Amino acid sequence: MNLGAFSVSLSVKDINASKAFYEHLGFNVFAGSLEMNYLIMKNENALVGLFQGMFENNILTFNPGWDENASNLVEYDDVRHIQKTLIDKGIKLETEADENSSGPASFMVLDPDGNAILIDQHR
């Protein structure tokens, strides 16, 4: 199963302080906007999303169809295929993508410790 680009989406209290901290670690702003209260920071292949006031807990995020540069992959597993594979394995989903749709969609699952995993396809 190919889940696509991986990033950690952090719920931050002060986006400016978090931005400065990650810049000290060698990250640069890759996407997002301070005005919109979110930034995607990049260091080599590592992606960290900083989100202020959007959700309570940190989220592991995968983007089917994208690589770590937000470039489209030629071959990828569609989010609905990934969702069906997990359901067939008995994994309970927190949210589901519409099986009858195509294009952008997402679903969320919790790992055994309650960590949220978002499978978020943008294309």
Digit-by-digit pLDDT tens for the chain (123 residues) are 899 999 999 999 999 999 999 999 999 999 999 999 999 999 999 999 999 999 999 999 999 999 998 999 999 999 999 999 999 999 999 999 999 999 999 999 999 989 999 999 999
What pLDDT is recorded for position 58?
96
Q: Which two tokens stand for residue 115?
A: 């960590």
Measured CA distances, 55 to 6, 12, 49, 70, 96 (Å):
18, 9, 12, 22, 18
| CATH number at 5-121 | 3.10.180.10
What pLDDT is recorded for position 113?
87
Structural domain spans, the chain: 5-121
What pLDDT is recorded for position 50?
98
What pLDDT is recorded for position 101?
95
Q: What is this structure's pTM?
A: 0.88
